[in-house]
Structure 1
Amino acid sequence: MAEQKSAGTSIGSGQDCLLPARTLRKAADVGAGKASMPHWRAFLLAVMAGLFIAMGAALMLVVKSDSSLGFASSQILSGLVFSVGLFLVVVAGAELFTGNNLMVIGCLSGRYGASRLVGSWLTVYAGNFVGSLLLVLILVGANFAGLNGGAVGVAAASVAASKASLSPVAAFCRGIMCNVLVCLAVWMSFAGRSVADKFLACVMPVMGFVASGYEHCVANMFFLPYGLLTQSLGLEGDASVVLLAGACSNLLWVTLGNLVGGAVLVGCTYWLALGRERPKAPAPSASVAEQGSADTSR
């Protein structure tokens, strides 16, 4: 009986994982560390995040190349393997634009200004793009598209063409829902205390957004260039231009949707619900900020 009571108290007091109010404070602390990080370091860690997410996207193309899978099975399995990317970001430590939308919490808490927030976002977005393009170049050299008798290349072209053909409204709305789930995954990873906690926090939301067909701007930094490059080998000039225009439109509207879903619907909502009445915490020292950014980068 005593052991059962002790276990219940542990869970209730947040020893099993952080409770929402403490998770909010941790999110603000992590955001302060990211905002104070030197731009060169943030850029390099963002390159790694772009590479990680692109790795998950490449695994997803392998699943998509198997025509024997039904629609639901293919979507769910694609989501499971794609979650490798976010898990690497969370545990290995990297800077991901979509997850960093939660930095709005620290800004609203008065830990840093809007200019530092936007500057960090722009640096990380650029680094994510470079990391994604790096894997595109590597996979082209490795003839990744030739796997499964060329079916991986067909899947890459199909995925890219589908994304490039989305209307702005569809891309925007799918971007909103994607980053609601991604930022909830990052939020829950803040609450977790072990690598297993963080793994479970990443897998289910990511599987949900991939299976539902939602749009992630950093993943699309890989899907669109790689798929269009694969497909353009058999296209005439005008068709390539149309697809390129659609890809640019997709990235624009998906990025805006990701911002709304992550920064507004998740970050601002949790701050309004849990953080408005709390006193502003002082900004951490430079050494603490850098250590926190290195240990808990997302």
Structure 2
Amino acid sequence: MDYVKPYGVVDSMLAGGALKLSLPPRQLVLRGMLAGAYLGIGTSMAVTVAVETGYWILGSLLFPFGLALAILLGAEIITGSFALLPCAAVAGQKNAGLRQVCANWGWVFLGNLLGSTLYAGLFAIALTTAGDAQINAVGTKLIAIAEAKTNYYASHGTAGLLAAFTKGMLCNWMVSLAVVAAFMSTSFSGKILAIWGPTLLFFSQGFEHAVVNMFLMPVGMLLGANVSVSTWWLWNQIPVTVGNLVGGMLFTGLAIYGAHHTSAPAATPSVPATMPAQPGTARADQPGYSPSY
């Protein structure tokens, strides 16, 4: 069986958090850039399919490809780190102090922003033949999305900020759950399926993901959306990022850790001493341990 039980998932969450905190800034930024680009590619594909077919749900079914690619290739997504690193801190792991956790988040956030905006620029060039062609239906939709994700919230003032924050919180409850769910299986197909479900739930309902918006806002602005940089950050990026932090940390990371963490291994039937360890119960200090996250 390739299913990993919840206590084994928690072990992998802690090992994944420890591994993230051990990475140098250069790798955090580079891995963050790759994740930002992968999510941008998944988003542009989803919007293209939704526009060409007329069914948003079809685009939603395909979007998880980008997140699955990022998780399985070990790229760094800030929303996943929002769930895993607080667990490492609560567990008292080495180098999991507040300063180290915040520094890690900062480097990953920067990488995600660079990778997402880079792909946004490349996609805008491809979509408009470097500005020499008319904006097509996909470009028009991207403009509308960028304006709806900023100007709509701004028109509602404080209520708009609360809505953006809440959508961000709900989003990362699902997305960080997808990151954790990848630990539930030791097989490639099992990980893909575990990632796909929660990601579909977020995208199909229009919740707000900080890294996805790092692509949607710049590409919309490059295509002509009536959105300024200050409007983007004030009415979307900041409240959504804070919402992602709260949702991932409280509803996924600390909730699952609190529900299933044990100070000692769960009781199991007696087995020979030479029997290999069960999948998902490995620790970061064991040779060859390399969690998917």
Q: Which TM-score band applies after superposition, normalised by the shorter structure?
A: 0.7 to 0.9
Separation in 2, partners of 1:284, 1:149:
50
> 1:278 deviation in Å?
4.8
Q: Percent identity?
A: 30
Residue 136 of structure 2 corresponds to residue 136 of structure 1: no
What SS does structure 2 have at the residue aligned with 1:85? helix
Which of 87, 96, 114 matches 1:105? 87
Q: Is the 8 A contact 1:180 1:261 kept in 2?
A: yes
Q: Secondary structure in 2 aligned to 1:78? A: helix
**Alignment: residue pair count:** 264
CA distance in 1: counterparts of 2:205 and 2:4, whole angstroms? 29
How does 1:63-142 map onto structure 2 within 5 Å? Answer: 63-66=49-52, 69=54, 73-74=55-56, 76-103=57-84, 104-111=86-93, 112-142=96-126
What's 2:259 paired with? 273
Q: 1:225 aligned to 2:237?
A: no
Secondary structure at the residue paired with 2:63? Answer: helix
Contact 2:83–2:253 (Cα < 8 Å) also in 1? yes
Q: Counterpart in 2 of 1:236? A: none
Contact 1:78 1:207 in 2 (8 A): no
Amino acid at match of 1:187: V
Q: Distance in 2 between matches of 1:245 and 1:199?
A: 37
TM-score (norm 1): 0.82
Whether the 8 Å contact between 2:121 and 2:222 is mirrored in structure 1 is no
Greater displacement, 140-149 / 24-33: 140-149
TM-score by length of 2: 0.83
Shift in Å at residue 108 of structure 1?
A: 0.9
Are positions 1:163 and 2:149 aligned together?
yes
Residue number in structure 1 paired with 2:279: none
Given that 1:180 and 1:262 are in contact with CA atoms closer than 8 Å, whether structure 2 keeps it comes out as yes
1:8-32 deviations in Å (ceiling 9; x for gaps): xxxxxxx431100110011101110
User: Structure 1 residues 160, 149: closer, same or farther in 2, change over 3 A?
Assistant: closer
**Equivalents in 1 of 2:110, 2:227: separation in Å?**
24
Measure, in 2, the Cα distance between the counterparts of 1:139 and 1:162: 20
Partner of 1:245: 230
For residue 47 of structure 2, the aligned residue among 46, 61, 64 is: 61
> Conserved in 1, the CA contact under 8 Å of 2:164 and 2:239?
yes
Retained in 1: the 8 A contact 2:128–2:135? no
Change over 3 Å in CA distance of 1:173–1:107 after alignment to 2: same
What's the offset of the Cα at 1:240? Answer: 4.4
Residue of structure 1 in register with 2:291 after alignment:
296
Aligned-residue offset at 1:57: 0.9
Contact 1:178 1:214 in 2 (8 A): yes
**Distance (Å, rounded) in 1 between the aligned partners of 2:83 and 2:227:** 36
Gaps of 5+ in 1: 1-14, 233-238
| Aligned equivalent of 2:26 | 40
In structure 1, how many angstroms separate the alpha carbons of the residues matched to 2:89 and 2:173? 19
In structure 2, list runs of 5 or more residues that go unmatched: 154-159, 266-282
Deviation per CA, 1:242-271: give whole Å up to 9, x if none: xx3331120000000000110111111112
Q: Which amino acid aligns with 1:214?
A: F
